[in-house]
Structure 1
Amino acid sequence: MESRTASCYCGQLRIEVQGQTLGTGVCHCLACQQRTGSVFAALAAYAAPWKIEGVATEFVRTGDQGATFRFRFCPVCGSQVFHTEEGNDAFVMVAVGAFADPNFPPPQDSVYECRRHAWVQLPKGIAHYDRDPD
């Protein structure tokens, strides 16, 4: 089974995931923009199990639809690496950039398009949602 490792910039915090992604997407919501310091978050979902190495600092926030998310980032370099949904241990969302792989598969969907910067261009053929479809 294929495994991938994502890490923070300094390498102190790492997560190893197994198998293919459950899906890859981008989120343009204002919370993701502020959280990442970019114009969107690029995320890849992986099924359990996963292995974490290093120490993480956590930030917890409640999403628009009431779900609570626990974001993990490196206390040394500040890189955000992954997050989970409270009460749902079936999958983890990993920041695509933390894989440091320019050949990572493109996103399959784009959510919160109502907040997308007009100059952001996305691959053809992906699903577009004005808000979160869940």
Structure 2
Amino acid sequence: MRTASCSCGQLQIEVNGEPRGVGVCHCFACQQRTGSVFAALASFNVPYKVSGTATEYLRTGDQGAQFLFRFCPICGTSLYHTEIGYDDKVSIAVGAFADPSFPAPTASIYDVRRHTWVQLPHGTKTFSKDP
């Protein structure tokens, strides 16, 4: 079992097992949402358990997919999201696990918007946009 938490601890999500995948996204929406130059996300299979109260934000991606982001209404941490129509997985902000041994990303999407100084782990598969 793994637990990810917002900065103040009010909102938490628990998942079981290893991630389906770990990736980074360099799209402008993720850069603005995180306040960083990319978002680091880990995808997990259901079930998952959420405790605390989340505020939701629905965003439509460049290719029409809809993502429901959940964040803490107290500290503002963007903790996890789901994609509408894909109820079998959840994506969680890697940093929210506060685990330096968490697996490295294997995929980089919207690489066309990656800041030139960001170096990816060796062997990371890159996609110009969202595959």
TM-score bucket (shorter structure):
over 0.9
| TM-score normalised according to structure 1 size | 0.96
Tell me, in whole angstroms, the C-alpha distance in 2 between the residues paired with 1:73 and 1:123: 28
Task: Name the amino acid aligned to 1:20.
Answer: E
Give yes or no for the alignment of 1:102 onto 2:96.
no
The partner residue of 2:56 within 49, 55, 58 is 58
The partner residue of 2:79 within 81, 94, 109 is 81
Trace 1:5-44 onto structure 2 (pairs within 5 A).
5-44=3-42
Q: After TM superposition, which residue ranges in structure 1, 4 or more long, deviate above 3 angstroms?
A: none
The partner residue of 2:113 within 104, 112, 115 is 115
Secondary structure of residue in 2 paired with 1:32: helix
Give the aligned partner of residue 128 of structure 2. Answer: 130
| TM-score normalised according to structure 2 size | 0.98
Tell me, in whole angstroms, the C-alpha distance in 2 between the residues paired with 1:54 and 1:87: 24
Structure 2 unaligned blocks of 5 or more = none
Report the identity percentage: 64
Aligned residue-pair number: 131
Secondary structure of residue in 2 paired with 1:5: strand
Q: CA RMSD in A?
A: 0.5
